[in-house]
Structures are given as structure tokens and as C-alpha cells.
Amino acid sequence: MSLGNDLDGRVRAAAMAWLRQRCTPEDPVVPRGELLSFQFEGRPFPLIDNQLGIRKPQGMTAALSILTTYTSDGARAPYEDAVGGDGLLRYKFQGNREHYTNVGLQRAFELRLPLMWFFGIRQGLYLPFFPVWIVAVEVEQSQVAVALDEAQRHLRIDGPVSLIERGYSERITKQRLHQPVFRQRVIQAYETSCAMCHLRHRSLLDAAHIIPDRETHGVPAISNGMALCKIHHAAYDENILGVRPDYVIEVRSDILEERDGPMLRYGLQAMHDLRLTLPRRRMDRPDHNLLEERYERFRAAG
């Protein structure tokens, strides 16, 4: 039963208002069950499809949401081929281009309607991005281009893109999607706990890169990250402490000889010779080759 031509706007407004209230800095991810059990005007109205990646509810003119299923780092490279030459993300059609879900994406583009994008960070757990917009339908490639914010919505994508425009768009994509997804995947893998000191306050935890993401092989994979509290993340980045390939922490020798207050003694020096607390899943643990490369940099800095 259709609820009228204004259903698209009412559902989107209600769903995004709920997400803004539901997703806090301390708890920004949403289980699949909550997305499926969303209520709109007193009745069940799932925000995601139970089987498909695109949600186009009956009675609505256009697609409501898109979903990216979680895949482990070993299954495919994170975000591989997902960013176009203009720095915008692409989302593939669901099967045949005439499928009603794909038509729903095209209608969202034509009507300039906002959508929600639910990005899987582990099995059954999603990080929402909203509002996002379809800014181009690329039929030959069976995909659409997705803007993550107002700035990307106004980028020219029907012609040559300057290096400045592309760099700006890529930076938005990295800051708005890649970095938050990497952060949540790493923190979830380490069960919201610093791998060095076991601090469990999410707001004080970072996803630290082993090889910085500005480098070619500094990929946004869990195996290139560790959950660290802010003090140990900064110390790791500054080569005050390092991690050996056998997961044992080393504190730089000159730091071990210093005399200062309790933060130095208990926060840094006490980490020397301790072993990292590792994720349960072996595939999520730091890559030995990346740790070895980073450890050699730590030794050279000392």
C-alpha cells in the first residue's frame, strides 16, 4: 500500500533523524537487526533489504539506501577499484541494469534525493554514512557515482577533472569514508581496547597505521593497523616506542633512561618488553612484514 507521493521525503527524514540520535561517538555502528527492525509511523519499515544491496521499498519512488557487505581483508583489497578518476566512489548495479533496485538508484539521481550508505565493518555490523547522493549514472559500467557531501555534489564529472579537483575529491573520500571505516574495523577487531595498555574508552582510542596511509602500501586493512590509545599512538608515530615482528613492545633506550613523572614511568617505560594484546582472529593480527619494516624505522630513529 502506497502512503502517498511524499513517502520518499518522510521516510528519509525519519530514518536519518533516528540515525543521528542512534549513532554516537561512543557507539557509531549499527547491528543489522536494528536496521531491519526500524519503525516508521508505527509499522516495520526496514532500512536495508534482507537479501539485496539496494533497498527500494514498495510505494517509494526511488532507492532509500545502499549497502556494502563486510569482506575480510584477505578476501579482497579494501576499496579496490571503488574510486573513479574524479575521486568519487562508485557503487555497482544489482544484477541486470533494468532491475527495479537499479531503476530506483537512477530515480534517486533524477530527483536528487539523498540516500543512506551502510558500510559493513564486520559480519552483521554497519557504519552508516548519510546523506549521500547519486551524482551520475554510468550505464555502460553498470554503476553510479556517489557523493559523500555537498562539496562533492558540485564537482564536474562529465568532463576532464583537474588535478586539484581530483585531489580535493579524493581527500574528501578518504576523510569521510576510508578513515572512519578503517578506524571502526580496527577498533572492533581489538574489542575496543588499546593493544598496549588495555584502555577501553572508545573516545580515547585510535586506529594506528603500521605503515602510514600516505604511502603506497599503507593500505586501510586491519592487518596494517592496531588499536592504540592516543598517548601510545602518538608515541608509536614518534618512534618513542616500537613493536617487534614477534609483537613485543620496545621503548627507545634514551626514553628508558629518563626520569620524570608517573606518566613517563607507568604510561611509557612500563610498556617495555610487554606483548601486544592481539585480535582473536588470526587474519586481523598485524602483518609480520609490515611490522618488520616499521620496526626497522624505529631502530633507525633510535
> 273 — phi, psi (to 5°)?
75, 5
CB of 38 within 8 A of CB of 47?
Answer: yes
Q: How far is CA 58 from the centre of its chain?
A: 30
Share above pLDDT 70 across residues of the chain, in percent, rounded to a whole number: 94
pLDDT at 274: 97
Nearest-angstrom CA–CA distance, 135 and 151: 12
Helical (H) or strand (E) element with 281: none
Nearest-angstrom CA–CA distance, 115 and 167: 25
Nearest-angstrom CA–CA distance, 108 and 111: 5
**Residues in CB range of 257: below 8 A, 6 or more apart:** none
Amino acid at 237: D
- In DSSP terms, 205 is beta-bridged to 229
pLDDT at 1: 37
pLDDT at 76: 54
What is the pTM for the complete model shown? Answer: 0.87
Hey, is 47 helix, strand or coil?
coil
**Residues in CB range of 13: below 8 A, 6 or more apart:** none
DSSP 277: P
Nearest alpha-carbon partner for 198 in 256, 285, 271: 271
Low-confidence ranges of the chain (pLDDT < 50): 1-4, 77-81
> Longest C-alpha distance within the chain, in Å?
74
